A = this chain, B = another copy of it.
Amino acid sequence: MNKNKILRIIPIGGLGEVGKNMTLYEYGNNILIVDAGLMFPENDMLGIDYIIPDFEHYLKDKRDQVRGMIFTHGHEDHIGAVQHLLEMVNAPIYATKLTLGLLEVKLSRYGMLAKADLRPVNAGEQISIGPFTVDFFHVCHSIPDGVGLGIETPAGLVVHTGDYKFDHTPVDNWPTDYAKLAEFAQRGVLALLADSTNATEPGWTPSERTIEGALDQVFETAKGRILVATFASLISRMQQVADAAERHGRKIAFTGRSMVENMNMARSLGYVDFPERLVITLEQSLTMPDNQVVLMCTGAQGEPRSIMGRLANGTNRKFDIREGDTIVLSSQPIPGNEEPVYRTINQLFRRGADVIYEAIAPIHVSGHASQEEIKLLLHLVRPKYLIPIHGELRMLKQHAKLAKEVGMPKENICVVENGQIIELVNGELQLAERIPGDYIFVDGSGVGDVDRSIVRERESLAQDGIVVINLVIDDQTGQLNGDPQIITRGFILMDEMQPILDGVKTRIQETLRSSDGNLQGQVLRAVKSYLYEETKRSPYIVVNINRF
């Protein structure tokens, strides 16, 4: 085996989950990093701020071998761990203009901009990074300026899509680069790593452009103000809403820091284009007739601290929902996030607004390829091997089924999860060792100082609350000195507590009388079983015993 002709692919994140995408390509002593994203915690990961991929395990001894980092687009699940990665790795960062802009915003927030060696690339360019010759090709997605990668190595050509869809009529008129994909096929693609997020969606993801009709209908029927909420990164939606405002004789105001920042950046870089007279300030909008105004803000996911979240709660500072407002939530609830989204919608209705959301009208489309697009990609690229990426296992498996349907041999489809290293050698794919591919929790300023065991403790605290008992015992008499102090939190209502507290005290006295040694353990067990008998609940119990 020729040790020099092995390309190793190390999936650090995004295989077996949606989020925290990160892949390493390793050839000899050279590592190329593609993306370093974050993942938002699931509902039962209590208190966790976000999750980053476990790159430390593999990179800690190889940090000097990293030749470059490529970010395929500017979404958090692809760039959100960059500040953590830069604490460890020092290498040039390659990305397109908008993606670099979003990286800059993020890195300056963490005071790390000076440390970053940012190198702009354009879709269509070819760049050499160590032994990797990388073709950047344009892809459509729900943020502009996304790219996929053709990574040529001495072991063969690998195509890495990043997130993509095949939109024939994108809002920026820039379709995915079909020609480049076909050109890769001409060269011969050894392996394709492709987005699986929508592998369970039949058909073809609708074009961004299809939203225009639904927007027009909203603008035609709305009598009062129109408020459109979406992601701050959904630059094309800003263009579409501004265009609709222009068509229907309304002015548009952007509100919310991240929305305004992104709009300004996209505007200065030329990713959106609307006339000066169209855009007004929030303050101006508040003094204009309702039917001449569109407001655009964040909070389509029901985030409580976003503008839309605060409007729903009635806690927004600068303005409130008015009877007759029409609100458009231009997004799809992130799976697991349905409850806060629908709660927000219900609250907005309660405040007298009409709310248009995805279930009601086609005011959002996905940025990921559906089944027919995935099949088209396979036919365009004609890879020898397919490695589904970006998705939960069920999505990767479905991606594999699609590949079988278009005729790929089963043994050429490689479904693996985070940490399973893949080697391409002499034109063949083989599995190598498996490394940890776990969650690294970020909580407050701590990275990795909370793990699943701590989250389980939080869960059990949350289940029935806590009871803290403080006893002072006279060492001479063995008697309680004063009443036990009992503090509870998250247990039961104060009003209902007195008989239970009395019962606890009685049990403590009884235990004290019969105790033969380990008083702390005995009090704990007595109180625990008493509380369970009385309430069928098991709060966390702390017993402090002080003797003197």
Contact = CB atoms under 8 A, between A and B. Distances in A.
A397 to B, nearest CB: 5
B46 A542 contact: no
B450 A461 contact: no
A387 to B, nearest CB: 16
Nearest to A42: B339
A346 interface: yes
A465 interface: yes
Interface string A437-460: 000000111100111011101111
A444 B537 contact: yes
Contacts of A46: 462-463, 490
A521 to B, nearest CB: 14
Number of copies: 2
A489 interface: yes
Contacts of A445: 534-537
A241 to B, nearest CB: 22
A462 B459 contact: yes
Given A43-B43, A461-B462, A464-B444, A338 B335 contact: yes
Contact of A450 (B355, B468, B489, B493): B493
Contact of A542 (B349, B357, B457, B468): B468
Contacts of A450: 492-493
Contacts of A534: 445
A453 B493 CA distance: 8
Contacts of A489: 457, 461, 540
B458 A465 contact: yes
Nearest to A548: B548
A445 B338 CA distance: 30
Contacts of A397: 349
Nearest to A444: B536
B468 A544 contact: yes
A492 B449 contact: yes
Interface in A496-548: 496, 534-537, 540, 542, 544, 546, 548
Interface in A455-493: 455, 457-466, 468, 470, 472, 481, 485, 487, 489-493
A359 interface: yes
A360 interface: yes
A454 B338 contact: no
B466 A466 contact: yes
B457 A496 contact: no
B492 A537 contact: no
Contacts of A463: 46-47, 458
Contacts of A200: 359-360
Contact of A496 (B446, B490, B493, B537): B446
Interface in A30-68: 42-44, 46-47
A258 to B, nearest CB: 21
Contact of A346 (B16, B47, B481): B16
Interface string A14-26: 0010000000000
B472 A465 contact: no
Nearest to A336: B339
A69 to B, nearest CB: 26
A350 interface: yes
A465 B457 contact: yes
B451 A462 contact: no
Contacts of A139: none
Contacts of A349: 393-394, 397
A444 B546 CA distance: 32
A345 interface: yes
12 contacts: A16-B346, A43-B44, A47-B465, A200-B359, A201-B359, A336-B338, A443-B492, A445-B534, A445-B537, A454-B491, A457-B465, A461-B489
- The 7 A-B pairs with the shortest beta carbon distances in the complex, nearest first, are A444-B536, A462-B462, A458-B490, A457-B490, A444-B537, A445-B536, A46-B462
